[in-house]
């Protein structure tokens, strides 16, 4: 018998904790055999109280290694040179990566075989093993982080009166059949590593930043915070029919909601890039990574055809009444612009998807009113006619600024000039 340690053979003088690492390494690689009672130089030492030691090994394998590896490990006694030794045969497992329960799915808990050594696996190797075992669906894969908390998710479920606890974790696919957190659990957890980045720009290009924010934590927390943030920039504008004022928001709330939900439900979380939201004077853009699901075109999507990349996440959003039914988001966005000539646009590349919502209070760039302009129009509607001095005093601005505001409103056809010189007045256009 060749008793030289190598890729598939390990020798131990006695039962020690390090046996766990070797079992894991063999199961994650190509299998192997461990002999207990033989020195690493091949010296046959033997094992006293062999039944007790075999029971200790069985308990160690069962209690300290995840996922359940017992079906792939057999433990028996042999006699070599007249001395009893323990033979542990480890087959390559079907649910790699196996890992030390106390360390989790991290390099310090996952081991592979390199030559005659059991070494920590790299994060990329761990991800590869997860993908090979769990498939390509990100949300169904085991999460690398198993130390998860769900404070934000519990709050959202509680407020919507939907049960959320350990009993629901398996049903919702937050944990798998072995009770291990999936990536869906990671997305809902307070430790979610995926973020949303939002930026507000001055004008219609990305030349000048006005504000930028990054939102992290549970996707449910991000969803609430980013919607509140966007709403701050969904301004109410005044539109006049004669002297009657009608207040209209820049963007239909339903369109904002659906565009945001779509960017979260359909993005590919296998990429680390953030979801991007850009707010301009004339539009809002939502960009999520991953492109369209294979087999679906933009024309299909416009008709309401839907293939969900993250089916379990979509199901949770449905349970929380955040979405009504699959495939309804884009038609809802389009319907909310039925009364506006410029329609939302949808663009897809191989690795990204963009939804653009136009500002409904801008038509050819002419109807965008600032807060000060709206105050001046209200003043003109009340007083029938106003002077530059009235504007200056009402707004508490300089003579130059008041003149500039009036000029803008005249150029937009909202105010009309009456008279001239010192008696110049302005009236609202009926």
The pLDDT tens digits for 264-310 are 998 999 888 999 999 998 999 999 998 887 777 777 777 777 677 89
Q: Domains in the chain: how many in total? A: 4
Domain annotation covers residue 1: no
Domain annotation covers residue 146: yes
In angstroms, rounded to a whole number, what is the distance separating the alpha carbons of residues 198 and 353?
16
**Are 15 and 67 in a shared domain?**
yes
Mean pLDDT of the 324-333 span:
78
The domain that holds 75 is classified in CATH as 3.30.950.30
Domain boundary among 188, 212, 229: 188
* The pLDDT value given to residue 278: 97
Mean pLDDT of the 400-419 span:
86
- Over the chain, what is the mean pLDDT? 89
**Are 294 and 328 in a shared domain?**
yes
For 73-83, letters b (16+ CB in 10 Å) and e give: bebeeeeeeee
**Are 310 and 260 in a shared domain?**
yes
**Are 339 and 275 in a shared domain?**
yes
The domain that holds 423 is classified in CATH as 1.10.10.10
CB atoms within 10 A of CB 113: 22
pLDDT of 366 > 60? The answer is: no
**Are 334 and 247 in a shared domain?**
yes
11-36 per-position pLDDT tens digit: 999 999 999 999 999 999 999 999 99
Q: What are the backbone dihedrals phi and psi of residue 115, each rounded to the nearest 5 degrees, phi first?
A: 60, -130
**Are 177 and 312 in a shared domain?**
no
DSSP 144-174: S------HHHHHHHHHTT---SHHHHTTTTS
In angstroms, rounded to a whole number, what is the distance separating the alpha carbons of residues 248 and 418?
29
* The pLDDT value given to residue 218: 98
**Are 250 and 349 in a shared domain?**
yes
- Between vectors from CA 13 to CA 8 and to CA 17, what angle results, nearest 5°? 75
Domain annotation covers residue 234: yes
The domain that holds 334 is classified in CATH as 3.30.565.60
**Are 103 and 160 in a shared domain?**
no
pLDDT of 364 > 50? The answer is: no
Which has more confidence, 7 or 134?
A: 7
**Are 200 and 184 in a shared domain?**
no
Question: Which residue in the block uniquely carries the two structure tokens 């009444």?
Answer: 321
* Structural domain boundaries enclosing 156: 138-188
Domain boundary among 153, 188, 223: 188
* The pLDDT value given to residue 131: 85
Domain annotation covers residue 92: yes
Domain annotation covers residue 203: yes
pLDDT of 426 > 90? The answer is: yes
* The pLDDT value given to residue 245: 65
Helix H or strand E encompassing 127: helix 123-134
Lowest mean pLDDT segment, chosen from 103-107, 164-168, 269-273, 296-300? 296-300
Helix (H, G, I), strand (E, B) or coil at 77: strand
pLDDT of 1 > 90? The answer is: no
pLDDT of 244 > 80? The answer is: no
**Are 148 and 240 in a shared domain?**
no
Question: How confident is residue 242, by pLDDT bands cut at 50, 70 and 90?
Answer: low
Domain annotation covers residue 82: yes
Domain annotation covers residue 366: no
pLDDT of 147 > 50? The answer is: yes
Domain boundary among 146, 161, 188: 188
Question: How confident is residue 326, by pLDDT bands cut at 50, 70 and 90?
Answer: low
Question: How confident is residue 328, by pLDDT bands cut at 50, 70 and 90?
Answer: confident
Domain annotation covers residue 209: yes
Question: How confident is residue 341, by pLDDT bands cut at 50, 70 and 90?
Answer: confident
**Are 147 and 235 in a shared domain?**
no
Report the percent of the chain where pLDDT is more than 70: 94
**Are 203 and 181 in a shared domain?**
no
In angstroms, rounded to a whole number, what is the distance separating the alpha carbons of residues 240 and 320?
39
């Amino acid at each position: 018998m060749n008793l030289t340690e190598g890729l598939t053979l390990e020798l131990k003088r006695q039962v020690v904790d390090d046996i766990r690492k070797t079992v894991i390494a063999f199961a994650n690689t190509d299998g192997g055999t461990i002999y207990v009672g033989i020195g690493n130089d091949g010296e046959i030492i033997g094992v006293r109280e062999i039944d007790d030691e075999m029971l200790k090994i069985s308990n160690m394998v069962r209690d300290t290694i995840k996922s359940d590896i017992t079906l792939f490990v057999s433990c028996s006694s042999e006699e070599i040179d007249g001395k009893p030794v323990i033979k542990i045969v480890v087959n390559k497992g079907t649910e790699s990566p196996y890992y030390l329960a106390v360390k989790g799915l991290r390099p310090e808990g996952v081991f592979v075989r390199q030559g005659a050594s059991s070494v920590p696996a790299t994060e990329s190797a761990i991800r590869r093993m997860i993908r090979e075992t769990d498939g390509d669906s990100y949300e169904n894969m085991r999460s690398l982080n198993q130390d998860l908390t769900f404070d934000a998710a519990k709050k959202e479920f509680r407020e919507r009166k939907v049960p959320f606890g350990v009993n629901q974790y398996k049903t919702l696919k937050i944990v798998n059949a072995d009770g291990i957190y999936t990536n869906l659990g990671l997305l809902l957890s307070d430790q979610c590593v995926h973020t949303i980045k939002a930026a507000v720009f001055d004008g219609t290009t990305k030349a000048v930043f006005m504000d930028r924010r990054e939102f992290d934590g549970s996707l449910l927390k991000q969803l609430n915070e980013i919607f509140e943030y966007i709403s701050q920039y969904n301004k109410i504008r005044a539109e006049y029919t004669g002297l009657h004022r009608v207040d209209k928001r820049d963007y239909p709330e339903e369109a904002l909601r659906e565009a945001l939900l779509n960017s979260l439900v359909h993005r590919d979380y296998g990429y680390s890039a953030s979801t991007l939201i850009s707010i301009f004077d004339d539009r809002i853009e939502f960009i999520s990574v991953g492109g369209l699901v294979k087999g679906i075109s933009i024309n299909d999507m416009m008709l309401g055809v839907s293939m969900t990349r993250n089916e379990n996440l979509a199901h949770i959003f449905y349970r929380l009444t955040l979405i009504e039914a699959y495939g309804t988001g884009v038609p809802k966005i389009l319907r909310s612009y039925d009364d506006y000539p410029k329609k939302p646009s949808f663009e897809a590349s191989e690795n990204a998807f963009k939804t653009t919502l136009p500002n409904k209070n801008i038509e050819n760039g002419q109807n965008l009113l600032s807060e000060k302009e709206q105050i001046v129009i209200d003043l003109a509607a009340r007083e029938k006619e106003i002077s530059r001095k009235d504007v200056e005093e009402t707004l508490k601005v300089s003579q130059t600024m008041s003149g500039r505001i009036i000029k803008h409103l005249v150029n937009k056809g909202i105010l009309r000039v009456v008279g001239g010189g010192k008696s110049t007045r302005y009236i609202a256009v009926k």
